[in-house]
């Protein structure tokens, strides 16, 4: 067999954290490792609506690392456009996938409906959902569970097995053999000493390794589980003594369950006030049931169903969620973790303006997301077309991260040596990738370390560095960070304040007229350029 025919193409999560999707092609056979949703700025999310960089009907299989939406969230679109082959994953991932994808489909439908009903969009073309709940369930039915460490043949010419990644329930790294070449895809790696899961494991002596680099530029303070609980205890007490609510944007999968574990332990030990804890996320409720079903496989559970603690209340319907607007002195957890969709935006809208409330972030916030804007100190934000003043206290703790930090990633990579070919660093923002690359390169200046871009393809052979055979997109720096719509939202939310500082009515109108003239000048210049062509 011609070994040079094995190629690797990056279709997502290269130069950015979300949208994980890689294609391995061997002659006329191909498989995907992950097929995830892009999350972040509106400009980045437009990539979800574009065409795939391949023909979905010609993909032979998908090998899925885990059930987070940035790794699986485009599977329904893939299926709707002609893919009908197996999606290989671990048993726990298959169980979670049913709920994760169905929820994503409902969000796509409801978000399209909400945007179409906005008054400021009257007369504009209708939004069409990326996919539906029906599409999502069709994709889930393609899942084929395989236990960790068992070899399987995902497609002709490929052999694979899963290794524990220590990230979330069911998360795995993927070892793949094809054309005499050994590859390892890290997936998302968990930190050392994480609740529920043992530390990541994987083989050494690999030809080519693809490693995530989400926290490649950050070394977090190390916390034991007890130290983490003490930190959470402190934040809860500080928040509740103010009299308002504690709002926690939380990823429905894994982060919510970790928090519930610690909240239950703290409540049982009388270390936090006896206040109601609301989990306002139907998806989190369903995911929690999957965790309970897999309790025997997890650490730290002590044979108890800690998710049924009397202080914890699961909010299912919308009416009950809206009633939480009248609450004070409660802990409210809701998805999404980056505040880009879901019920958390509803709770932020009703709590950000309150000086007695606190918003506590417990996870990574990608550039361009509302969560990142709040963490960066915004005084006003725009939520669902409405301006909201930020008077609540904004707090953050890093001890709940589900990702390995810089030093843990460095050790994981070192444990894979010898890496005979190339190390690819993906799934990270530009600064994180550059920092991790410099750290690893210092160990071995001659090592082949590649920071791929979306659209790039590489020829892979055993024992030699990868060879780039196709260049990628040149606009990812613009798409991955805050975009013009972030700038627009910031401008609009502050415009009224700026105009209010101008004392006379005439001067305010002149300021608006000047802004209009600037926009008109841009439009005239655009038309002149168009005519000149």
Q: Residue 286 belongs to a domain with what CATH number?
A: 3.40.50.10890
Q: Sorting pLDDT into bands at 50, 70 and 90, what band is 109? A: very high
Span 307-356, pLDDT tens digits:
889 999 999 899 999 999 999 999 999 988 999 888 999 999 999 999 99
**What is the residue-averaged pLDDT of the chain?**
91
State the total domains in the chain: 2
123, 67 in Cβ contact below 8 A?
no
Asked if residue 453 and residue 310 are part of one domain, the reply reads no
Asked if residue 297 and residue 161 are part of one domain, the reply reads no
Whole-angstrom distance, CA of residue 248 vs CA of residue 425: 31
Mean pLDDT to the nearest integer, 185-201: 92
Of 396, 423, 441, the residue that ends a domain is 396
Task: Give the residues across from 181 on adjacent strands.
Answer: 178
Structure-token pair, residue 422: 């190339």
Of 338, 365, 396, the residue that ends a domain is 396
Is cis: bond before 132, omega within 30 of 0?
no
The predicted model scores a pTM of 0.83
Span 222-258, pLDDT tens digits:
888 899 999 999 999 999 999 999 999 998 999 999 9
Asked if residue 170 and residue 22 are part of one domain, the reply reads yes
Mean pLDDT to the nearest integer, 68-75: 97
Of 480, 500, 522, the residue that ends a domain is 480
Whole-angstrom distance, CA of residue 152 vs CA of residue 161: 6
Q: Flag whether pLDDT at 115 surpasses 90.
A: no
Span 503-533, pLDDT tens digits:
788 888 888 888 888 888 887 887 777 777 6
Whole-angstrom distance, CA of residue 97 vs CA of residue 105: 12
Tell me, what's the pLDDT at 499? 80
Asked if residue 247 and residue 215 are part of one domain, the reply reads no
Span 391-425, pLDDT tens digits:
999 999 988 888 999 999 999 999 999 999 999 99
Q: Sorting pLDDT into bands at 50, 70 and 90, what band is 2? A: very low
CATH label of the domain that carries residue 196: 3.60.15.10
Structure-token pair, residue 246: 């504690």
Whole-angstrom distance, CA of residue 390 vs CA of residue 367: 19
Tell me, what's the pLDDT at 521? 84
């Amino acid at each position: 067999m011609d070994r040079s025919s094995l190629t690797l193409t990056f279709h997502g999560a290269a130069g950015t954290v979300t949208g994980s999707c890689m294609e391995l092609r061997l002659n006329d056979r191909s498989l995907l490792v992950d097929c995830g949703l892009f999350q972040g700025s509106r400009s980045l999310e437009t990539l979800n609506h574009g065409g795939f960089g391949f023909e979905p009907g010609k993909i032979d299989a998908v090998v899925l690392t885990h059930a987070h939406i940035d790794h699986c969230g485009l599977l329904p679109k893939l299926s709707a456009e002609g893919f009908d082959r197996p999606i290989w994953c671990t048993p726990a991932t298959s169980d979670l996938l049913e709920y994760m994808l169905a929820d994503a489909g409902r969000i796509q439908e409801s978000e399209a409906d909400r945007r179409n009903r906005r008054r400021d969009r009257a007369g504009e073309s209708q939004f069409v959902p990326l996919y539906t709940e029906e599409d999502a369930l069709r994709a889930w039915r393609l899942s084929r569970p395989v236990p960790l460490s068992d070899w399987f043949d995902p497609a002709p010419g490929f052999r694979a097995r899963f290794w524990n990644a220590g990230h979330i329930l069911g998360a795995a790294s993927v070892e793949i053999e094809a054309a005499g070449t050994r590859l390892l895809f890290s997936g998302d790696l968990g930190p050392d000493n994480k609740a529920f899961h043992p530390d990541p494991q994987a083989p050494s002596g690999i030809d080519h390794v693809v490693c995530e680099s989400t926290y490649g530029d950050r070394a977090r303070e190390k916390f034991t589980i007890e130290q983490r609980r003490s930190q959470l205890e402190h934040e809860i007490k500080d928040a509740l003594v103010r009299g308002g609510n504690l709002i926690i944007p939380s990823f429905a999968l894994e982060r919510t369950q970790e928090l519930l574990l610690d909240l239950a332990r703290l409540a049982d030990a009388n270390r936090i006030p006896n206040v109601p804890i609301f989990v306002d996320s139907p998806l989190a409720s369903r995911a929690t049931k999957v965790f309970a079903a897999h309790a025997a496989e997890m650490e730290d559970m002590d044979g108890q169903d800690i998710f049924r603690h009397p202080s914890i209340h699961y909010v299912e319907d919308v009416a009950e969620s809206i009633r939480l607007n009248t609450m004070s002195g409660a802990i409210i957890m809701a998805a999404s973790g980056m505040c880009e969709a879901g019920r958390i935006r509803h709770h932020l809208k009703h709590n950000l303006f309150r000086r007695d409330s606190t918003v506590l972030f417990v996870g990574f916030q990608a550039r361009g997301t509302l969560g990142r804007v709040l963490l960066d100190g915004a005084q006003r934000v725009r939520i669902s077309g409405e301006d909201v003043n930020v008077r609540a206290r904004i707090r953050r703790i890093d001890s709940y991260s589900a990702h390995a930090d810089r030093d843990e990633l460095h050790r994981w990579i070192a444990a894979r040596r010898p890496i005979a070919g190339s190390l690819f660093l993906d799934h990270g923002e530009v600064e994180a990738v550059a920092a991790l690359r410099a750290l690893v390169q210092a160990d071995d200046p001659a090592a082949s370390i590649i920071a791929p871009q979306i659209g790039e393809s590489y020829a892979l052979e055993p024992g030699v560095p990868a060879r780039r055979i196709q260049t990628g997109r040149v606009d990812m720096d613009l798409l991955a960070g805050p975009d013009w719509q972030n700038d627009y939202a910031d401008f609009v939310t502050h415009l009224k304040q700026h105009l209010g500082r101008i004392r006379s009515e005439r001067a305010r109108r002149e300021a608006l007229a000047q802004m209009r003239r600037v926009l008109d000048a841009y439009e005239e210049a655009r038309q002149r350029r168009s005519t000149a062509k």
